[in-house]
Amino acid sequence: MNITLKVWRQKGPNKVGAMETHKMTEVSGDMSFLEMMDVLNGNLIREGKEPFAFDHDCREGICGSCSMFINGEAHGPGRNVTTCQLHMRSFKDGETIHVEPWRSAAFPVIKDLSVDRSSFDRIIQSGGYVSVNTSGATIDANAIPIPKHDADEAFDSATCIGCGACVATCKNSSAMLFVAAKVSQLSLLPQGKPESKERVVRMVDQMDLEGFGNCTNTGACEVECPKGISITNIARMNREFLSSNLTSK
C-alpha cells in the first residue's frame, strides 16, 4: 500500500520544529510501524538526507522505549499495543499518517521523535522501592503467604512499562497513572506495607516537582495505556495519599 507520512522534525531541545512530508510506496501490512520508519530512514540516508531520530529497543512491546504519537493517539490506533507492535495493516491504502513525539513539559524533546523521560526515573528514585538490602539474608520466599488475588492485582499494576503514553495522552500531562501503578503494586504486597505512607508522599512530591499536571479524571490514560493499567490505581493512590497525610505523625 501507499501512504503519506507527516513526521515531526526538530533539530534539538531548543530548536523550532515542524512537520515534514514523505511519501511511502509498497508498504506491507505485515510491517511493524517501526519497520516502516526504518525503510523511510534508509531511503532518506540514501538520498543524502537526515534520518528521523526515534527511541526503540526491544520491539516486542515490553521495554517501553518507543514513544510515538500517531494520528493524535499515543502509540497510534489499536488498544493494548506499543508503537513497535502496531502493524501497518491497521492503516488504509492512501492514508495520511501524522507522527509526533510525546508532548509534555516534563518530557523535553531531544531530537525529532525522541524525548527525555528521566523524570520517571527520578520519581522511582524518590521512593518506588522496598528498602531491603540485596544481601539475600532475608526470610524464605514462602514464609509470608500472599493471597493469590492480591498477588495478581499487584502484578497487574507492576506491568507498567514506563513508556509515558499516559502523560502524552493526558490534557494535563499528568503522570498519575504511572506513579499510581508503582504505589499500588507495593502497597498491595506485605513487603511494601511498612513504608507505604512515606512512599506515596515522596513520590507525589517528586511528581509535582518534575512539572507533571494533576488528574482530572478524564480516563484517557487508561484507554491509551499499552498495558491496560486501570485508573482504579489512581483512586488507590489518592486514598493512600490522603490517609498518609491524615495519619502522619
Partner 1 sequence: MLDSRIPEGPLAEKWNMHKDNIRLVNPANKRDIDIIVVGTGLAGSSAAASLAEMGYNVKSLCFQDSPRRAHSIAAQGGINASKNYQNDGDSVHRLFYDTVKGGDYRSREANVHRLAEVSGSIIDQCVAQGVPFAREYGGLLDNRSFGGVQVSRTFYAKGQTGQQLLLGAYSALSRQISKGKVEMLNRHEMMEVVKVDGKARGIIARNLVTGEIERHSAHAVVLCTGGYGNAFYLSTNAMGSNASAAWRAHKQGSFFANPCFTQIHPTCIPVSGHYQSKLTLMSESLRNDGRIWVPKSKDDVEAILNGSKLPRDLKEEERDYYLERRYPAFGNLVPRDVASRAAKERCDAGFGVNKTGHAVYLDFASAFVRYGQTEALTKGISNPSDETIVELGREVIKSKYGNLFDMYKQITDDNPYETPMMIYPAVHYTMGGLWVDYNLMTTVPGLFAAGEANFSDHGANRLGASALMQGLADGYFVLPYTIGDYLADDIRTGKISTATVEFDAAEKKVTDELHTLISNNGDTPVDDFHRRLGLIMWEKCGMARNEKHLKEAIAEIQELRKEFHSNVLVPGSENEFNPELEKATRLADFLELGEAMCLDALTRAESCGGHFREESQTPDGEALRDDEKYTFVSAWEYTGSPSEAKLHKEDLVYDNIEVKQRSYK
Give the footprint of partner 1 on residues 201-230 (CB under 8 A).
none
Q: With beta carbons less than 8 A apart as the criterion, state whether 32 and 84 touch.
A: yes
Classify residue 138 by burial, with Cβ atoms within 10 Å: 0-12, 13-18, 19+: exposed
246 binds partner 1 (CB under 8 A): no
The enclosing H or E element of 126 equals none
CA distance 85 to 94: 21
192 binds partner 1 (CB under 8 A): yes
Pick the binder of partner 1 from 2, 4, 12, 194 (CB under 8 A): 12
Kindly tell me which of 50 and 208 has the beta carbon lying closer to partner 1. Answer: 50
Task: Choose one: 92-100, 159-167, 170-178, 210-218; the region binding partner 1 (CB under 8 A).
Answer: 159-167
83 binds partner 1 (CB under 8 A): no
Q: At what angle do helices 176-188 and 148-158 cross, to 10 degrees?
A: 150
60 binds partner 1 (CB under 8 A): yes
Task: Choose one: 17-25, 56-64, 212-220, 235-243; the region binding partner 1 (CB under 8 A).
Answer: 56-64
Kindly tell me which of 2 and 131 has the beta carbon lying closer to partner 1. Answer: 131
116 binds partner 1 (CB under 8 A): yes
31 binds partner 1 (CB under 8 A): yes
Length of the chain (residues): 249
- β-strands 96-101, 3-9: how paired? parallel
Q: With beta carbons less than 8 A apart as the criterion, state whether 153 and 107 touch.
A: no
Q: At what angle do helices 196-209 and 232-247 cross, to 10 degrees?
A: 110
Closest-CA residue to 86 (of 46, 52, 59): 59
- All three cell numbers of 71: 494520528
184 binds partner 1 (CB under 8 A): no
Task: Choose one: 57-65, 98-106, 170-178, 238-246; the region binding partner 1 (CB under 8 A).
Answer: 57-65
CA distance 107 to 110: 9
92 binds partner 1 (CB under 8 A): no
Task: Choose one: 95-103, 133-141, 169-177, 238-246; the region binding partner 1 (CB under 8 A).
Answer: 133-141
89 binds partner 1 (CB under 8 A): yes
Pick the binder of partner 1 from 104, 174, 185, 230 (CB under 8 A): 185
28 binds partner 1 (CB under 8 A): yes
